[in-house]
Every structure is written in structure tokens, then in C-alpha cells.
Amino acid sequence: MQQQVAERAGEVIAASTTEFTAEALELHSAPPFGSFVKVIEPKRPTIYALVSYVETGGLDPTRHAVARSRPPSIVDEEIYVQWPELRDVLRTVFTARVIGHIDARGAVRHWLPPFPASLHFSVFVCTTEEIQWFTRRHDYLAGLIRDPSGTEELTAAAIRTAVAAHSDQPDYLLQAARSVARMLASDYIRLHLILQSIASEELRQ
Amino acid sequence: MCRPVVPGDCRGVPASVDYLEQVSAQEETNGRVMGFDIRTLGSQVDAMVSHLVEQSPRTLERRRQARNAYAQAAGRWQQAARTVEESTMSFVAAVPYEDPSRSYAPRQLPADYLIVATDGSQIEPERHDLALYLLINVGWALLRYGSHAVAQLGSEPTLRFRDEELEYHVNGRRIPIREELLATLRSLFERKKLADLLLTLDGTHPALGLVDGSLLDLTLSNRRQELPPTLIQELLSHFDRVRDGGCLLASYISCPASREVANFARWALCSDLPKMACRDCSSQRLRGVPDCHPLDSQIDTALLPALPPYHRSALFSPLQRLQERYGQHRISCFYLNAGPELARIEVPLWVAQDPDRLALTHSIIADQCRRGGYRGARPGYPPALIEAHEQAVVTIQDRQVLEMLLERRSAQQGLVLQRSAKAISKHMKAV
């Protein structure tokens, strides 16, 4: 199989220990919700994160987008042709929840890195191989589940992305579901929400 | 031209009785609210409104008379224009090049066109600041429409801090570059950037350079003695570059308050034709008021015939004395129905006298107004100017960043800069 090359997705514009926000390279082109991204820095751990929020709006927050369509001809993509400056005054930003890092010895660590991402560094979308490698164990889910600001939606999206990266999908899904069940043994409602979102049609039957 | 930031801008405050009552009640509970004494102001606003209501019928009657005068002058416009041009009237008038009683439709636009707009803002030198400097920030927007629609937006700040950069030396005098003189310098920067950008284009498609405000800088005339004599040549050299580069040039004035076209209509009421010598006005002498007084305080846009959307008025030539110094770049103007308002468009002579260039300029600006309409329903303000303005704006935060940078870099070099006691006090906002 040909090895994938990590695709540059954005640039970090705000960062803390637990998350970072990046501006997408192009308007409306953030990595999908629940996708795995990373920030590589020299002599620092490579930070892994999950895209948890995407937003598009004015570069200047005091300027609001207004409806511009003039049906039938000027709608949707044609609006950007008629007002080419829109691509320069609007922007898409995404926030990613930090879920782990690769330490100095090259080991996967499913806990927070010692440093936040540095501002203006590139954010890359993880390749399928990287996702496989990072999600061999399910411990990274514990941090998401414990996070009071975390949602079941994000946990479920992370599992779906990880499942898609593994070749033995039914087995992997079952293991992930069992791990989540152990982590949420005392919270049936949250567990139910997550399982409902990750269960494939086959498993439901 | 960007408006300065006004701290405490109160737009959006509902000036209703309910609001006043609400504020009064709040004041009774909490003591006086900081800022305006709204109750005192409220009674003055009432007096102002009563005055406006009382004046309204008189204003309307004067406007009706002024419109009649304009219609008469427009009906014999060639004769009127000749007389006004040769007159010694004290008012600055603008004479029409074409029938001023009709409107002119925009032409079909080419499939592709480009527009470049520049705008600027400045920080005035302020003795309370850390050091004496001025800053000019030129913002620009280059928009291409048609087959390869694309935009380029940007800004270029220039910091001037040496004595010779903060003062003009004219006839042995040192003139600080402030207020209007600084605005003229800023215009020079804007025009230069406009020409620079237009000359980067390959000339395949029509390109218009558009600026905000008048092309005719009256400071060059009003404060001529305080400006270097070469400044106007430098300004006009950029107009030369635009013309020689095969591009178009125009300026856009929103909500214009010009009275030159209205002054042209004085011809119809004047008691002293053909000389129109205001200094020796016979009606003023006989009746105590000049016959042309209905035209006092009338602005051009109140008198022009109705223009359909995107249509323009006739082209006029304003007769300011400053025009002579503009030479081949003498300014002409027309008014355009831009939807919410009639905008004034100024063009240099080489655009005005070439029917194709004039029609193209008109059509491009009309198209910009179409694109600038809110919710797509009405014409509006050109997007190129909006974006250039947004790029040019220097906010209070930008100014703070500049001050911080100056303070830090100076400290790194062992130089401690200090603000005035007044500036420190304002900064502290201590109570």
C-alpha cells in the first residue's frame, strides 16, 4: 500500500494545554469533526488532537455576513464569483481537543503533552497509518470521557474515525465499545448515547 | 478617507421618550449616569425638532423654487453655461458638458474587468504620546470580476518620525504636517499606491482606479502657502501614470454636499445677467435680498432630475480656480443613482472627454453599486471601497500595539520613553 502524506490543514492561532484553534488554509475547508490532527514541532512532542468544533465567520468579528443571493442565477458558489473578496474577509477556524502526544522516545502517550502547541505552527491531518498507530489502544478515550466540556458526540466521532482506519473494523469497533462501556459503567445514559452513535447496522442486528 | 474612531459612539441608542424615561428612572435610583446629562440634552433635542418642523414648509417652498430655477437653466444649458463661465459671480459653479435635464444609462459591461481602490487613515503626531511620530496606513482592494474572479486585499503602514518627515520647509518656514496637511499627504500616498497597483496589471482587461472622496484636493488651494510647491506635481504624476498605463481613474463621494450644480442654476434667477456680479447685486440693493436666494443652502442632489437606478446625470465641469493647476487632469463630475443616495463621481478630463472611457467608468461604478447592495435588493456602496477602507482603518487597539512595540523596543535599547502626565492619567482611568 502506498504511504499517505500528511496533509496540511491549518495554522495554529490559539493554544492551551488541552486544545488549540487553527485557521483553515481555505474557506470552508477545515478537517471534518472528529478527525485526527497533529502539530509537529522541532524538539517538542508531536501533539495529537481531535477536531471538536468548526466555525466560519468574518475575519473581523464586527463584520457580519449578510444574505447576498439573487435567485435564480446568483446563489451558492456563484455568490463567491460575484463577490471574490468574500474569500479574503471570511475564514474558517477549527478547534481541536488534545488527546495525546508522541514523546521523545517515539512512544504514543494517551495523556496531555508537557507543552501546548506553538502559535503559527502547521496543523496536519493524520494519515490512516498514523490513526491506526495512535488508536491501537483506547486509553485516549478516557480523557475525552472524563472531560467535563467533552461531548458524547466527539467521543463517538473519534471512534468512528478510528474504526474507519482499521482493517478489522467489526473487531476493532467491538473492542472500542467494550472499552467505553468499562469507562462509563456508572453512567448508562452517556454510554447509550455513544454506543448508539457508533453501532453499525450489522452490530445492531 | 476613513473616519477617526469616535470613543463612546452612541449610534443605536434609541432616542425615544421611553428611553429618556428609562434613563431618568435609572438616574433617580442610582444617581447620575456617566456621560451625557440626558435630561438636559433631551429638552435641547425637542427644541431642535420644533425648529426643524417650523422650517419645513419654508424649506420645501425654497426647494420648489430652486428646482424650477434648475429646470430653466437646464432648458437653455448651453447659453447658461457660457454666461456662467464668463461671469464674475462669487459662487463656485459647475457647468454642464451635456443636456442636464436628462439621465444617462450605463452601458453593457465587458465580461471581465478589474477595480483597484485605495483608502487611508492616519495617526496624527501627539505630544502626549511616547514620542513624536505620524503614521499613514494605506489600505487597498484589487478585485477582478469575470472569468477569473479573485481578490487581493492589503495595507501598507508608513511611520514618519524624523523632523524633516514631520514638517514641511516652505520659504524658510517650518510647517508641522497636521490635520488637512496630513490628509493631503495621505492622499498622495493613496494615489501613489493606486497607480502602483494598476501598473502591475497586464492590461488585458479594463481596469478602474477608484478612490474615496474628491480628486480635487482643496487644501492644495486653501493652504497653498504651507505646502511644498512640488507636492501637486507629485500628486498629478500618479494621475499621469494611471492614464499612461491605459487605466481609468475616478473618485466616489457618498452623500455629497456639493453646491456647484445648484450654483449653476443661479443663472435662471440672477438679476444681473450676463455679468452675474454678486458684489454689485441689484436685487440685493433694491429688495434687500438677492433674487437667487432660494438657491442658498441647496445641494446639487436636491435639484437634479430623477435618475433611474444606476443612471447618471449629465457631466459637469466645476469651475474652482484650483482646476487650472490640475492641467490635463482637470476634474469633471456626474451624479449616479446608487440606490440609497445619489453619489458624486469625479473623473479627470481624459476620462470625461473620451465617451468610451466615460461610459466604461460609469458602468463599472454602477456595477460596483449593484454588488454593494444590501440583501441584493438595492444598489449600494462599492465593495472595492468598503474593503480598501477596512484594510486602512487604524483602530484604538492597533494604536496601542504600536505604542507597546515602541516602548518595548526602546527599553531593549536602554531608552526609557515617557508619556505626559495627562496621557498617564487617561490610561490609568483611576477613580
- The ipTM of this complex is 0.77
Where in chain A are the domains? 6-134, 135-205
pLDDT (tens digit per residue) in A100-136: 999 999 999 999 999 999 999 999 999 999 999 999 9
What per-residue confidence (pLDDT) applies to B10? Answer: 38
Contacts of residue B75, defined as CB under 8 A and 6 or more positions apart, other chains included, come to B101
Adjacent-strand bridge partners of A108: A102
Residue A84 has its nearest CB partner, among B143, B375, B390, at B143
Residue B149 has its nearest CB partner, among A70, A74, A84, at A84
- A80 interaction partners in chain B (CB closer than 8 Å): 149
What is the rounded distance in angstroms from the CA atom of residue B405 to the CA atom of residue B411?
10
Question: Which candidate, B230, B94, B251, places its Cα nearest to that of B169?
Answer: B230
Number of CB atoms found within 10 A of residue B128's CB: 12
pLDDT (tens digit per residue) in B314-352: 999 999 999 999 999 999 999 999 988 899 999 999 999
Q: Do B390 and A68 touch (CB under 8 A)?
A: no
- Chain B residue nearest residue A85, CA to CA: B151
Cα–Cα–Cα angle for B341, B347, B351, rounded to 5 degrees: 130
Contacts of residue B27, defined as CB under 8 A and 6 or more positions apart, other chains included, come to B33, B38, B39
Q: Measured between CA atoms, how close is A61 to chain B, in angstroms?
A: 12
Q: Do A67 and B371 touch (CB under 8 A)?
A: no
- B389 interaction partners in chain A (CB closer than 8 Å): none
Residue A70 has its nearest CB partner, among B141, B144, B376, at B376
CA-derived radius of gyration, chain B = 25
- A86 interaction partners in chain B (CB closer than 8 Å): 151
Reported as a pLDDT band with limits 50, 70 and 90, residue B31 is low
Q: Measured between CA atoms, how close is A76 to chain B, in angstroms?
A: 14
- A87 interaction partners in chain B (CB closer than 8 Å): 151
- Chain B residue nearest residue A80, CA to CA: B149
Q: Do B387 and A85 touch (CB under 8 A)?
A: yes
Reported as a pLDDT band with limits 50, 70 and 90, residue B37 is confident
pLDDT (tens digit per residue) in A146-160: 887 778 999 999 999
Q: Do A67 and B141 touch (CB under 8 A)?
A: no
Q: Do B144 and A84 touch (CB under 8 A)?
A: yes
- Full set of structural domains in chain B with CATH: 106-258+299-394 (3.30.420), 399-428 (no CATH)
What per-residue confidence (pLDDT) applies to B179? Answer: 95
* Site from B9, B116, B140, B150 to mutate, A interface, most A CB atoms within 10 angstroms: B150
- B151 interaction partners in chain A (CB closer than 8 Å): 84-88
Is residue B317 within 8 A of residue B224, CB to CB? The reply is no
Contacts of residue B140, defined as CB under 8 A and 6 or more positions apart, other chains included, come to B116, B117, B118, B119, B152, B153, B154, B155, B156, B193, B194, B197, B388, B391
φ, ψ (nearest 5 deg) of residue A133: -65, -45
- Identify which of A144-148, B284-288, B399-403 has the greatest average pLDDT: B284-288
- Chain B residue nearest residue A81, CA to CA: B149
Q: Measured between CA atoms, how close is B351 to chain A, in angstroms?
A: 26
pLDDT (tens digit per residue) in B102-147: 999 999 999 999 999 999 999 999 888 888 999 999 999 999 999 9
Whole-number percent of chain B with pLDDT over 90: 79
Q: Do B375 and A66 touch (CB under 8 A)?
A: yes
CA torsion sign, B84 to B86 to B91 to B92? positive
* Peptide linkage before A72 cis (omega within 30 of 0): yes
Q: In chain A, which residues touch B (CB < 8 A)?
A: 60, 63, 66-70, 74, 80-89
Q: Do B376 and A87 touch (CB under 8 A)?
A: no
Mean pLDDT across B217-241: 96
Q: Measured between CA atoms, how close is A7 to chain B, in angstroms?
A: 25
Question: How are beta strands A7-15 and A122-125 bridged, if at all?
Answer: antiparallel
Q: Where does residue A83 rank: exposed (0-12), middle (13-18), buried (19+ CB within 10 A)? A: buried
Q: Is the pTM of this model over 0.90?
A: no
Residue A68 has its nearest CB partner, among B150, B152, B376, at B376
Q: Does A73 have pLDDT greater than 50?
A: yes
Contacts of residue B122, defined as CB under 8 A and 6 or more positions apart, other chains included, come to B134, B135, B136, B137, B182, B183, B186, B394
Mean pLDDT across A25-40: 97
Q: Measured between CA atoms, how close is A28 to chain B, in angstroms?
A: 17
What per-residue confidence (pLDDT) applies to B13? Answer: 42
What per-residue confidence (pLDDT) applies to B3? Answer: 42
- B383 interaction partners in chain A (CB closer than 8 Å): 83, 85
What per-residue confidence (pLDDT) applies to A147? Answer: 84
A19, containing H or E segment: strand A19-24
Question: Which candidate, B235, B228, B232, B187, places its Cα nearest to that of B211?
Answer: B187
Q: Measured between CA atoms, how close is B332 to chain A, in angstroms?
A: 30
Mean pLDDT across A7-16: 97
- A83 interaction partners in chain B (CB closer than 8 Å): 371, 383
Residue B383 has its nearest CB partner, among A70, A74, A83, at A83
